[in-house]
Amino acid sequence: MAKSSLSSLRPEDLSGKRVLVRVDFNVPLDDGGSITDDTRIRAALPTINDLISKGARVILAAHFGRPKGQINEAMRLTPVAQRLSELLGKRVQKTDSCIGSEAENQANSMVDGDVLLLENVRFFAEEEANEPGFAEKLSSLAEVYVNDAFGAAHRAHASTEGVTKFLSPSVAGYLMEKELQYLQGAIDEPKRPLAAIVGGSKVSSKIGVLESLIDKCDKVLIGGGMIFTFYKARGLSVGKSLVEEDKLSLAKELEEKAKSKGVQLLLPTDVVLADNFAPDAKSQVASINSIPNGWMGLDIGPDSVKVFQDALSDCQTVIWNGPMGVFEFDKFANGTNAIATTLASLSAKGCCTIIGGGDSVAAVEKAGLAEKMSHISTGGGASLELLEGKTLPGVAALDTVD
């Protein structure tokens, strides 16, 4: 069901109105409390600026960290308010609490074009419990609701789902709309051939997405630590590489499912091995058929890169979720970097390349290729759940297009 978005509202629907906007400002801080990556704040700017330009009174709700329903001084949104003020070129006020008389007074004293940031909604346990009374108090600050926090859309929390029962209209912001357009579009109506590259260390964390992608894709390429569970299931020796013993039969089933559906499921043909898990470990390249005892695989090998590049060469849509190896160690980042470079060149030829959240985003940014991709998702868990075909509560709660 298509969801109503901010673009469907007229300026007169917003002018002079208090608009509650759920944003994802869960940004990383250094030990000194300074923001190290403001990507998530920047991603919300199109929605915030549009509302300002239409004379709305913008009230931002966000979470930060995991305070577990308690006030935690280290998890206040003060640094976010400062950075947002710099990016908007105007002062952003911040409340001391997201509900209560102080928040109400600040909201009621706003003028058109003002921006107010509510304190961390997760300082209240009622937020994650989606307690109706808390959602009502939060929504009483505003008249319109916009959800632009795709990264939290897989949670049925008070600020993502509960408030929609009290505010109308409830619509998607521009970031949310873009995420749904790319991720949902890639699954429902892709330009084919459609390929998915799935990486990461464990099969168990990607079971749902692998099963779903095998149903929808023409090609599925698997990398990362999870490959060794597949190899062991085939009866190969994997040295001291990471293996999930309880997922061996599942790995066999996934390979059989792909074969029965005519889906090309590709695993690496060679791997980069290390004698221990360290950035300065001794390394060697070995075929998957000859991994020696005492060594562990930390990256896909050069032959695998060529095989993967060949498989991707004719694809019109590619979704990537999860690195090919331990890219945090430069010595074992070549496979991941090669995939990033390959996707960047495919984008230039008109292929739709979607980086589906999580570590893949960090890898693409580390390689300096983020701008070359069609779409970089801001949601980790939300991206995965959408690719799995699950309903996201924060999306389902929004108004449906008539």
Query: Structure tokens of 213?
Result: 């992608």
CA atoms within 13 A on the CB side of 402: 2
Of the residues 358, 366, 379, 394, only one is catalytic, namely 358
In degrees and rounded to multiples of 5, residue 58 shows phi and psi of -90, 115
Q: Is 137 among the residues known to form the active site? A: no
d(CA 194, CA 317) in angstroms, rounded, equals: 5
197 residue type, one letter: I
Q: Is 297 among the residues known to form the active site? A: no
C-beta separation of 146 from 174 below 8 A:
no
Of the residues 55, 113, 185, 381, only one is catalytic, namely 381
d(CA 160, CA 193) in angstroms, rounded, equals: 35
Contacts of residue 8, defined as CB under 8 A and 6 or more positions apart, other chains included, come to 171, 401
Cα–Cα distances in Å, from 151 out to 63, 168, 324, 356? 11, 22, 23, 11
d(CA 301, CA 223) in angstroms, rounded, equals: 10
d(CA 330, CA 246) in angstroms, rounded, equals: 31
| The pairing of beta strand 270-274 with beta strand 296-300 | antiparallel
Most distant CA atoms of the chain, gap in Å: 71
d(CA 269, CA 108) in angstroms, rounded, equals: 63
Of the residues 17, 40, 54, 76, only one is catalytic, namely 40
Phi-psi region of 74 (alpha: psi -120 to 50; beta: other; left: phi over 0): alpha
Q: Is 381 among the residues known to form the active site? A: yes
Instruction: Please report, for the chain, how many H helices and E strands are present, in that order.
Output: 16, 15
Q: What is the DSSP letter of 204?
A: G
Of the residues 202, 234, 257, 331, only one is catalytic, namely 202
Q: To which residue do tokens 């950035």 refer? A: 279
d(CA 121, CA 373) in angstroms, rounded, equals: 33
70 residue type, one letter: Q
DSSP 113-137: T-EEEPP-GGGSHHHHHT-HHHHHH
d(CA 379, CA 43) in angstroms, rounded, equals: 12
Residues recognised as catalytic: 40, 202, 358, 381
